[in-house]
Structure 1
């Protein structure tokens, strides 16, 4: 090969310096050229440098018969290098894009394998970055997408690092030939019905023939766009700080923002701020679906608009927008007997109830609102529950999940609401802890 010798080990070690205190390094090991070079580099660096414990993870997608032999190949390579290997079989969900479904299954396995303060290393390189930028440009991506693959990001409880993004494919090929490495050639990488393969085999070679530095300059453009996205993220952080005001219902643990603070921004800044906020909860909508935000924002004051997104819904009520997912989108309808009120009551899919103070007499039961409920209120007589909830500006999405305490057919209390959650004269109070986000809200 004509490729000049490059000091890949030294460059890699320098890139990994900030991560040498991690609890463990996992290498995503497909068995292909790129990940084989990365594994070999790390295994040999570990012989001469103090590095975290290494392990490899091979994900078997089960999409082609040839792949059945790959786990054994990967075990053989890892045994030679003294690196433990974990083989994970995943189920790829059918869908419009097999590439995307396989990627989601693969990264799901990576998240499960990467613990707190652990690092997953993947072998994407500069040519992959150029392909990513070109692919996303054709799909009409914005700044965030055109910034390409980040060199690092959070992954579950740990982090993902791409330490070879400044290395070209030809450098990896040179290293593999020099060290006589053996690797798997995935037949699917030649299938040009897949968009990435078509770009790799049909488009990029023609571009490089005309502009030999195309891969380098495209990677440089991705870096410029990454910097631009960092500035947009800073702007979103400032705008969101103004919208994260205190709500009377912060105790719900449901993410929310003040609508007026967002509505006062330009349309572009609204989308930028919301993108930064929603990215933690859901796959972001494409350009054609941002009309859902405009409809929610501009609906009549007494309306209860909903914007449905991939992993949940955005609701507007009480001058705020609320992110709802998981159990908040399912009705709570089943009554639950509270046989031992001295102990906390775990509500199915709806958190935990506790009594504070003296427990009311009689058999007690928790129900949920059906409509038409009436409650006796001190100094006010009997009042419709709907009116009482309106007076306290209870968000609509909460009303069907608020635990109602009954004794027989008598409504005694509504959890957590002032003047309704207990009886000052009898000295008791009903406290509800809804499911928090880390308990499965989103």
Structure 2
């Protein structure tokens, strides 16, 4: 092995030094040049270094007939190197961008495989970083997007690492040539209708012919922008600390913020803070869609504004903004009779209900609000449920799915609301565990 490749191995080992104590390293192995070199480097290092357990993951998208042979190729390579291989077959959801849909399916599979504190290693390199920067620039990305691919980020229960972002494609090709490695040439990589392929085959050759150091300087710009994004994240944390206050409805388990501290910030700081808060919850809106935030923020007190985003909705209620997604956005069917009230009742798309203490005798039912409900309260007589909910300031988006306990036509209790949950009427308590967030991102 020449000194050029010794340097490549040493750089890889240095970049992975903080992660040497991880339970396992998984290698995202497409079978292409980049991941083949990464796999080979790690397999060789494992012979002389004490590394976490290595394994490879090949995601089969099923988008091309030729791809059906790739798992066998990957198995052959892994078998020769003594690295276990896990093949995951995924369904790519149809949509406007096939590239994006395939990427989403791939990373969902990686997230499933990566367990607590384990590491997934991907083989993106410096050329990929430059392509990402230019691609996002052409799409009008902000500082976050232009900071490029991060070297590390959370993935499922573990971490995703890109240890070769300081390595060029030319270095990988030289390594593969010296070690006589074989790899898959994906025919779709030549299809220039895909934006990244067009940049790679049409734009970058012209750029580097005129400016040979273009890839290096673009990667350097991405690093500068990444540092700037870190400062913006610090500012967002400061601003969010003022808005991330307790609520009387924290038991809903929903992310929420106090609106008043946000309203005191400049428009730019509001967008920065909200982008930081929303980033793990949903794909962030582009510039044109931030008008939805203005409408939500400036709505009158009796309005019920909603800002619809890619993976959920922001609602405004009780001086706060609330993030709803998953089951919270699906209609809930009427539960009906509670035949075994001593046992928890699973409510379709609406969490779990329990009744503790001295359970009322007779046939009990669970219903949801339809309007016009009346409840008898000790010392207060009969009261409209709507007025009682107003008194307790229950957010509007909760009211239609708040479980109501009935005996015949008598409303006995409203889950979780002090004074209405059964304790005042008898020695029992109606408790509702709302549905959890299931947006499936981050």
TM band (smaller chain): over 0.9
TM-fit CA distance, 1:401: 1.1
TM-fit CA distance, 1:3: 11
> Do 1:3 and 1:170's aligned partners in 2 also have CA atoms closer than 8 Å?
no
Distance 1:411 1:379 in 2: 16
- 1:105-138 Cα offsets, whole Å, 9 max, x none, are 1111111111111111000000000000011011
Determine the structure 2 residue equivalent to 1:375. Answer: 375
- 1:226-268 Cα offsets, whole Å, 9 max, x none, are 0000111111111111001111111111111001111111001
Determine the structure 2 residue equivalent to 1:106. Answer: 106
| CA RMSD across the alignment | 1.7
- SS of equivalent residue, structure 1 residue 202: helix
- 1:189-230 Cα offsets, whole Å, 9 max, x none, are 111111111111111111111111111110000000000001
Determine the structure 2 residue equivalent to 1:282. Answer: 282
Distance 2:427 2:175 in 1: 76
Determine the structure 1 residue equivalent to 2:73. Answer: 73
Distance 1:332 1:378 in 2: 31
Name the stretch that deviates more: 5-14 or 172-181.
5-14
> Do 2:327 and 2:438's aligned partners in 1 also have CA atoms closer than 8 Å?
no
Distance 2:77 2:428 in 1: 67
TM-fit CA distance, 1:153: 0.4
Determine the structure 1 residue equivalent to 2:221. Answer: 221
Determine the structure 2 residue equivalent to 1:185. Answer: 185
> Do 1:3 and 1:174's aligned partners in 2 also have CA atoms closer than 8 Å?
no
Tell me whether 1:413 sits opposite 2:406 in the alignment: no
TM-fit CA distance, 1:423: 4.1
Determine the structure 2 residue equivalent to 1:311. Answer: 311
> Do 2:20 and 2:51's aligned partners in 1 also have CA atoms closer than 8 Å?
yes
Normalised TM-score (structure 2): 0.97
Unaligned runs of 5+ in 2: none
Unaligned runs of 5+ in 1: none
Tell me whether 1:153 sits opposite 2:166 in the alignment: no
Name the stretch that deviates more: 324-333 or 26-35.
324-333
Determine the structure 2 residue equivalent to 1:246. Answer: 246
Tell me whether 1:170 sits opposite 2:174 in the alignment: no
Tell me whether 1:49 sits opposite 2:49 in the alignment: yes
> Do 1:327 and 1:441's aligned partners in 2 also have CA atoms closer than 8 Å?
no
Residues 267-416 of structure 1: pairs in structure 2 closer than 5 A: 267-416=267-416
- SS of equivalent residue, structure 1 residue 354: strand
- SS of equivalent residue, structure 2 residue 47: helix
- 1:52-109 Cα offsets, whole Å, 9 max, x none, are 1111111111222221221111111111100111111211122111111111111111
Tell me whether 1:59 sits opposite 2:59 in the alignment: yes
Distance 2:417 2:425 in 1: 17
Distance 1:177 1:17 in 2: 27
Normalised TM-score (structure 1): 0.97
Change (3 A) 1:388 1:440: farther
Distance 2:200 2:261 in 1: 45
TM-fit CA distance, 1:6: 5.5
> Do 2:259 and 2:320's aligned partners in 1 also have CA atoms closer than 8 Å?
yes
Change (3 A) 1:27 1:252: same
Distance 1:62 1:249 in 2: 45
Name the stretch that deviates more: 65-74 or 241-250.
65-74
TM-fit CA distance, 1:354: 2.1
Change (3 A) 1:4 1:439: closer
Name the stretch that deviates more: 183-192 or 350-359.
350-359
